[in-house]
Structure 1
Amino acid sequence: MSSRGLWADVALRAAWARQDWAAILREYRRAAGMSQRQLEPLVGMPQPHISAIESGRRQVTSAEVRARITEGLRVPPELTMVPARPDLDDWAPPTELRERIAHGHATGRTDLRTADWIGEVLAQHRRAEDEIGGRDLWPVVRSQLDTVTRLIPGTTGPAADRLLLLAAEHAHWLSWVAAQQDRKGVALAWIDLAHGWAVDGGHTDMASWVHRVRSYYSLQHGDPIRALRTAEAARLTAGTSPAAASAAAHQAAKAAAAVSERKRAQRLADQALELALQVPDEGDRPGWLYWLNPTRAMLQHADTAYACRDWQTAAAGIRDALPALTGYPRDHAYYQARLEDAARRV
């Protein structure tokens, strides 16, 4: 694997974001399948020094040693620009991001290989967020977004639209992590940026999805009426794919159940399941909906039944589908708790 390909590894990128030099060396070796001895010529240090750093017996404090490791391991440019781990107060989107987008669509050509690379690693961040955690990856994704938005002013036409989608995907990810840190205002600021960029770029699936996320936030914060209104805006976005339409319908179903419109909720849940089953293959869904396979669709259908207090249907549906859910520990725990509670109520 190339050095750049190694840096798609999420645990390695998270170690870099923390500036944990011991973890950087360990994670690089793990990803590359290298011994400490094999690492010697890359970082210009003998194996005993590498061992001392990895074990914590020696700290990397010298700028010269840090530069040598950075150059030797060929750290990608978007990571070398990562700032020190930010305080939560610094998480809001800065004005300069909007300025870059405002000057987009100029006549010109941009080499999109950097954007392709960043799109690949963002996909890895999504899949690993359960294990790695968004807090550690925040500065990495924030730096990636800077790299993407700097490309936009010199790009035009479909290439600029493609970059706007990638920027929107990053803003959505940042919003989601901020919400998990209970930074409601910051989460809404990022999701609003994501929606604007999606609309500017003509990406209806992303425009619908961020409405769906906004609805989720409202429901989580005890405002089901607003959640239903926003979910309906997501559901009625014209031109969405079956997967995006399914996600919106499911969110509308949960919101309808929360305002006690149970028949409406059940109808929307059936619609969401039907739409999801039209696209069982991951390649037919937007990248951020990689997880919406038939198993997840059936679990979501059962979850709506739970929200409607149809305990028997909920328990049966979760019991049938849950064994096939692998690789999502938090979601597995969520549905297991739902199953146990519904089973007690039957």
Structure 2
Amino acid sequence: MTARLREARQSRDWTQAELISRLLAAVERLGLQPRSATSLKTLVSMHENGRRAVTSEYQQLYCEVYEAEPAELGFAAHSTEVDLSTAQPTLILPSQRQLPTPANPDTLGYLDSILNQHAQAEPLVGPQFLLPAVQSQMPLIDMLVRNAAGALRDDVLRVGARYSEFIGWLYQDTGHTVDAAKWTGLAMELAQELGDPQLSAHILQRRSNIATEAGHAGQGAGLANAALRFSDEITPRLRASALRQLANSKAVLGEESDYKRAVEQAMIEAAAGDDSDMLAGYCSVAYVEMESATGAVRLGDPEPAVATYRVSLEHWPAVQVRDRGLCLARLATAHAQLGDVEGAYEAGAEAASIAQRTGSARIMDELFRLQGHLAPWSKLVEIADLNSTLDEMKGIKRPT
């Protein structure tokens, strides 16, 4: 199959770029879930080199662009093989088939229940298996948003904003920054129509987080400040969340005094709130401390960060597997900056195992940065083994 796919392209004198252009056109023509050119470039290379199985949906795309039968491209006639790490549902949009379901409390209750279950599962299983399931609800939500009126419209907008923001988070954790920004932007539009300051502030700080992690810390700081403009109308924990994100951005920018000021204010607000906060209950004093340790590492002060990370890990909830992996990866970097090779290896190896299990690109990115700090000890057997594992992971991480 691998050879046949490459031969099919080369026999037509197509470059990979030409093939990708035709694949994008076929996706639109067939009404499939949109792809980015970047993600297709990675998959085409993997498919042609035999490093990733070709799912039934991609078999359909290749047959379409090459105008070939499955057997001609080396596909089994009735393949049931599915690569869950890349599979996306084919969504039937309301414009393609009428969905007569009206907005009513039962429908909205169902959507709320499903989203809450997915949100509880996400820290444990990671984003890659949840994306298809969560996105499968969007055609229904899209129809409700376009057609709902009257007393229930606010409830529909709130459900739509929450789903869109959650999808944005899942895309961010799989490394798809562009898609994360797109879905979070849609959530912002719905929140603005709703006029809910709590939801607007929450989504603005999420947009700040996406921008900062994508390397745009200036924009990240601006969005965090935009969230804080709602300070008089939002809960203490939401203020703490926005301040925590402002601190992260300031640390990346190297603005230490502003970073420390934001952390201090975030600690005060976190202490004033409680865990029952629907949108930011997670942003406790302990959480702000852990996040501030990351800022300290970025600013070149890893020693206090090690102690903070270790205390956090001792009390980490068992279900928060993905976030534990992220904390371990950051702890490994702090150890490496202090020259503690053994500590860096132990934390890094455990974080790598969690990253492989959950598919979290955020953990992977932290570990890839760790490699630079471990360069002086790259010839040690343990570090060489860890680097080998991380190099393999670079081949499967989805691009932004």
Q: TM-score range by the shorter chain?
A: 0.5 to 0.7
Q: Does 1:305 align with 2:299?
A: no
- Counterpart of 2:180? 187
Q: Deviations over 1:83-138 (max 9, x none)?
A: xx537xx89xx897xxx9xxxxxxxx952122122212211211211333333322
Tell me how far apart the structure 2 counterparts of residues 168 and 279 of structure 1 sit (CA, whole Å). Answer: 24
Tell me how far apart the structure 2 counterparts of residues 292 and 132 of structure 1 sit (CA, whole Å). Answer: 21
Distance 1:139 1:319, change over 3 A: closer
Q: Is the 8 A contact 1:231 1:251 kept in 2?
A: yes
- Counterpart of 2:326? 334
Q: Is the 8 A contact 1:299 1:322 kept in 2?
A: no
Q: Does 1:296 align with 2:287?
A: yes
Q: Does 1:116 align with 2:109?
A: yes
Tell me how far apart the structure 2 counterparts of residues 286 and 337 of structure 1 sit (CA, whole Å). Answer: 28
Mapping for residues 66-81 of structure 1, pairs under 5 Å: none
- Counterpart of 2:88? 86
Aligned residues: 245
Q: Deviations over 1:267-317 (max 9, x none)?
A: 101211221222232x2x124x35334432331233233233232332232
Residue ranges of structure 2 left out of the alignment (5+ in a row): 1-77, 79-86, 339-400
Q: Which residue type is aligned with residue 106 of structure 2?
A: R
Higher relative contact order (CA 8 A, sep 6+): 2
Q: Which residue type is aligned with residue 132 of structure 1?
A: V
Tell me how far apart the structure 2 counterparts of residues 217 and 114 of structure 1 sit (CA, whole Å). Answer: 31
3-state SS of the aligned residue for 1:253?
Answer: helix
Q: Does 1:247 align with 2:241?
A: yes
Tell me how far apart the structure 1 counterparts of residues 94 and 106 of structure 2 sit (CA, whole Å). Answer: 26
3-state SS of the aligned residue for 1:135?
Answer: coil
Distance 1:183 1:321, change over 3 A: closer
Mapping for residues 45-56 of structure 1, pairs under 5 Å: none
Q: Percent identity?
A: 22
Compute the displacement of 1:255 (Å): 0.6
Q: Deviations over 1:151-180 (max 9, x none)?
A: 4433324x3212211110101111222233
3-state SS of the aligned residue for 1:134?
Answer: coil
Q: Is the 8 A contact 2:237 2:269 kept in 1?
A: yes
One of 148, 168, 172 as aligned partner of 1:175: 168
Q: Is the 8 A contact 1:243 1:286 kept in 2?
A: no
Tell me how far apart the structure 2 counterparts of residues 135 and 337 of structure 1 sit (CA, whole Å). Answer: 20
Tell me how far apart the structure 2 counterparts of residues 271 and 168 of structure 1 sit (CA, whole Å). Answer: 28
The TM-score normalised by the length of structure 1 is 0.63
Tell me how far apart the structure 2 counterparts of residues 292 and 336 of structure 1 sit (CA, whole Å). Answer: 19
3-state SS of the aligned residue for 2:88?
Answer: coil
- Counterpart of 1:197? 190
Q: Is the 8 A contact 2:94 2:140 kept in 1?
A: no
Q: Is the 8 A contact 1:296 1:325 kept in 2?
A: no
Tell me how far apart the structure 2 counterparts of residues 339 and 160 of structure 1 sit (CA, whole Å). Answer: 46
Residue ranges of structure 1 left out of the alignment (5+ in a row): 1-60, 62-84, 101-108
Q: Does 1:235 align with 2:235?
A: no
Q: Is the 8 A contact 2:248 2:292 kept in 1?
A: no
Tell me how far apart the structure 2 counterparts of residues 191 and 252 of structure 1 sit (CA, whole Å). Answer: 18
Q: Which residue type is aligned with residue 316 of structure 1?
A: A
Q: Does 1:131 align with 2:124?
A: yes
Compute the displacement of 1:344 (Å): 5.1
- Counterpart of 2:310? 319
Compute the displacement of 1:249 (Å): 0.7
Q: What is the Cα-based RMSD across aligned positions, in Å? A: 2.9
Compute the displacement of 1:195 (Å): 0.2
The TM-score normalised by the length of structure 2 is 0.55
